């Protein structure tokens, strides 16, 4: 079914397309009866205006959209962060476009290219391990960028808390297995996010057990045996801080790039040991 156009609405209401444009844009100067006919035609036809075209005609050419680019939206940490960004955006009348990179530089470029093609006003980005010089061009064109969780290589932008690398659960388990083959294998591991923690916990028990302390906090981590001790960061605060930084840039803040470091919280639950009943290392 063909999508109704402004000309279709004008024809149905018996007015000019310019009058339809003035009514849907909320401009004054249209007779009440005429405006009512236009609004009735809009509802009957299901007409939806082109927001991008309307913004281009305005003095402020923003699109009231921002892009959020994360490693994996299936990761609960990023899901909480995305919700926080969306809440802040909603308060300001913005819509958030969300994409995942799987920590792949090529996919990251593709997602960002798709968002900038849609003329988002800004990007909140969890950078991959690749370089990010390619962002200079959209930044010169006016797209504001805030990096979260780690800095972007080759780019001077705001950052809201920096730390290193994310891997999959399978990769974490494989890395732990390789470490246990060393002549002097480790007896403890500090994992950098909840995905890595899950992978390490998959292989932490058994002979030559490995004690685990995690960064981030697993849901129900306190119910593990023993309970998981973690360094916990707040994804809601992280998303809100990143969104606030981005909107300050969109609103005209041109100060030098800065880094905002959010405090973490040490949650001591257990001794960081392997599950109970697992034999400890030889004395």
β-bridge partners, 148? 160
Distance CA 215, CA 6 (A): 53
Is the pLDDT score of 42 beyond 90? no
Whether the predicted pLDDT of 269 surpasses 60: yes
Q: Against a cut of 0.85, is the pTM above it?
A: no
**Structure tokens, 32:** 């009440």
Kind and range of the H or E run holding 172:
helix 169-179
For residue 210, with 0-12 CB atoms within 10 Å meaning exposed, 13-18 middle and 19 or more buried, which class applies?
A: buried
Do domains 6-49 and 65-165+234-263 share one topology? The answer is no
What's CA 18's distance to the chain center, in Å? 39
Whole-angstrom distance, CA of residue 105 vs CA of residue 129: 7
The pLDDT of residue 205 is 65
* pLDDT of res. 96: 94
**pLDDT recorded at residue 142:** 86
**Distance separating alpha carbons of residues 252 and 61, to the nearest angstrom:** 14
* Domain range 6-49, CATH class: mainly alpha
pLDDT digits (tens, 9 = 90+) for 140-161: 888 899 998 777 877 777 765 3
State mean pLDDT over 50-73: 70
Residue 222 confidence (pLDDT) = 66
- CATH superfamily ID and name for 65-165+234-263: Response regulator (3.40.50.2300)
Torsional class of 240: left (φ above 0), alpha (ψ -120 to 50), beta (otherwise): alpha
> What is residue 232's predicted lDDT score, i.e. its pLDDT?
80
Q: What is the pLDDT of residue 1?
A: 59
The pLDDT-based confidence of 280 (bands split at 50, 70, 90) is very low
Q: Within 13 Å, how many C-alpha atoms sit on residue 155's CB side?
A: 26
pLDDT of residue 213: 78
Alpha carbons 95 and 260: distance in angstroms, whole number? 24
pLDDT of residue 164: 44
Q: Where are the domains of the chain?
A: 6-49, 65-165+234-263, 169-233
| Comparison of pLDDT for 92 and 166, the residue scoring more | 92
The span from the CA of 185 to the CA of 117, in Å, is 49
pLDDT of residue 207: 55
Average per-residue pLDDT for the chain: 79
Backbone angles phi, psi at 149, to 5 degrees: 85, -30
Provide the pLDDT confidence category of residue 276 given band limits of 50, 70 and 90: very low
At 151 the pLDDT is: 78
- The 10s digit of each residue's pLDDT in 208-249 is 577 777 777 766 666 666 677 778 888 888 888 999 999 898
- 65 against 182, higher pLDDT: 65
- Among candidate residues 68, 166, 78, the one with its CA nearest the CA of residue 111: 68
pLDDT, tens digit (0-9, with 9 covering 90-100), for 75-124? 888 898 999 999 999 998 899 999 999 888 999 999 999 998 888 999 99
Structure-token pair, residue 90:
């909603």
Reference 82, options 201, 240, 232; nearest CA is 240
Q: Domain 169-233: state its class.
A: alpha beta
The CA distance from 53 to 57, in Å, is: 7
Residues 6+ apart with CB under 8 A from 166: 71, 72, 103, 192, 193, 195, 196
3-state secondary structure of 270: coil
């Amino acid at each position: 079914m063909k999508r109704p156009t402004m000309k279709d609405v004008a024809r149905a209401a018996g007015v000019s397309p310019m009058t339809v444009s003035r009514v849907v844009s909320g401009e004054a100067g249209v007779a009440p009866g005429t405006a009512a006919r236009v609004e009735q035609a809009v509802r009957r036809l299901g007409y939806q205006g082109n927001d991008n075209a309307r913004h281009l005609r305005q003095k402020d050419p923003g699109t009231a959209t921002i892009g959020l680019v994360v490693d994996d939206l299936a990761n609960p940490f990023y899901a909480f962060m995305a919700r926080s960004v969306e809440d802040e955006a909603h308060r300001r009348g913005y819509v958030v476009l969300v994409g995942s990179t799987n920590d792949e530089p090529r996919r990251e470029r593709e997602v960002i290219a798709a968002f900038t093609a849609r003329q988002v006003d800004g990007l909140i980005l969890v950078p991959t391990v690749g370089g990010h010089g390619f962002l200079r061009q959209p930044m010169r064109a006016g797209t504001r960028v805030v990096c979260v969780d780690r800095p972007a290589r080759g780019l001077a932008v705001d950052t809201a808390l920096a730390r290193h690398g994310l891997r999959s659960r399978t990769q974490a388990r494989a890395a732990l297995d390789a470490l246990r083959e060393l002549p002097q294998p480790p007896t403890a591991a500090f994992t950098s996010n909840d995905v890595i923690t899950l992978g390490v916990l998959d292989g932490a028990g058994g002979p030559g057990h490995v004690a685990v302390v995690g960064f981030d906090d697993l849901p129900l981590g306190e119910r593990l045996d023993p309970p998981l001790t973690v360094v916990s960061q707040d994804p809601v605060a992280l998303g809100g801080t990143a969104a606030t930084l981005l909107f300050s840039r969109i609103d005209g803040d041109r100060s030098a790039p800065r880094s905002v470091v959010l405090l973490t919280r040490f949650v001591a639950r257990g001794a960081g040991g392997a599950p109970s009943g697992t034999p400890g290392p030889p004395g």
